[in-house]
Amino acid sequence: MIGQKIVYKTLDEIGVEYEYYESPKDFSTEDDGKFWTKINATRCKNLFLRNHTGNRHFIVISDYYRNVEIKVLESKFKKGKISFASQKRIDKWLKGTPGSISVFNLFNDEEKHVEVFIDETLKSKDRLTFLPNELNALLAISFEDFIKILEYCGNKFEFIDLA
C-alpha cells in the first residue's frame, strides 16, 4: 500500500478502521467527480502553516472545497502573521512532502509541537478522507476515528469557525 508505514502501523495499533483507495492521479488536483461520489466521504484540505517568528506551527483541516483565507486565519488564531511552512519545517516536525500533509503526519510529531485547527463544519460529516502522508493514495475514516487519532497523538487541537 502507498503511504508511510507509520500510518498503517499506528492505525492498526489504535484500532482505527479505514478504507484504502489508490489513484493514478495524486489527489492534489481536482479529480473525476465520479471517484469522489463512490467514496462517499468528505474530501479534506490540510494546510501546514507557521507564525511570523517561526516558533509555532499549525495544521488547518477543512473541507477541500471550502475557501480558507490566510487573513481570516490570522484573525481567528490571534497569533500574528502566518504563512505556509517550508519543506525544512515539514521535515523537522511532520516528515512529509508538500501536498501530502494530513492528520496522519501527527504520528511523526514526537514533541507534540504542531497545533491543529479544525473547521467546525467537519463535525457534521460522517466520514473524512486523508492522504497517508504520500500522494496517490487516500484513506477514508469515520469522524469518530478522526477524533480518536487526534486524542492519541496528543497535539493541541480545537474546532474553529472558518467563516
pLDDT of residue 29: 56
Q: Return the percentage of the chain with pLDDT > 70, whole number.
A: 93
> Cell for 14?
489504535
Give the Cα separation of 91 and 129 in Å (integer): 23
Residue 33's domain spans which residues? 5-160
Indicate the pairing of strand 157-160 with strand 19-22: unpaired
pLDDT of residue 28: 55
DSSP, collapsed to helix, strand or coil, labels residue 63 as strand
pLDDT of residue 141: 98
DSSP for 86-100, written as a single string: PHHHHHHHT---TT-
Number of domain units in the chain: 1
Give the Cα separation of 20 and 2 in Å (integer): 9
pLDDT of residue 36: 74
Buried b (16+ CB within 10 A) or exposed e, 26-64: ebeeeeeeeebeeeebbbbbbbbbbbeeeebbbbbbbbe
DSSP, collapsed to helix, strand or coil, labels residue 35 as helix
Contact 73, 84 (CB under 8 A): no
Q: What is the pTM of this model?
A: 0.91
pLDDT of residue 69: 86
Q: Return the percentage of the chain with pLDDT > 90, whole number.
A: 64
Look up residue 70 and give its DSSP letter: H
Q: Which of 107, 21, 118, 116 is nearest to 68 (CA)?
A: 118
- Kind and range of the H or E element at 69? none
- pLDDT per residue over 40-99, tens digit each? 899 999 999 999 898 999 999 999 989 888 888 888 777 689 999 999 999 999 998 888
pLDDT of residue 20: 95
Residue 31 has pLDDT above 80, yes or no: no
Q: Cα 66 to chain center, whole Å?
A: 14
pLDDT of residue 109: 96
Q: Is 125 exposed, middle or buried (0-12, 13-18, 19+ CB in 10 A)?
A: middle
CATH, residue 130: 3.90.960.10
The residue whose grid cell reads 497517508 is 132
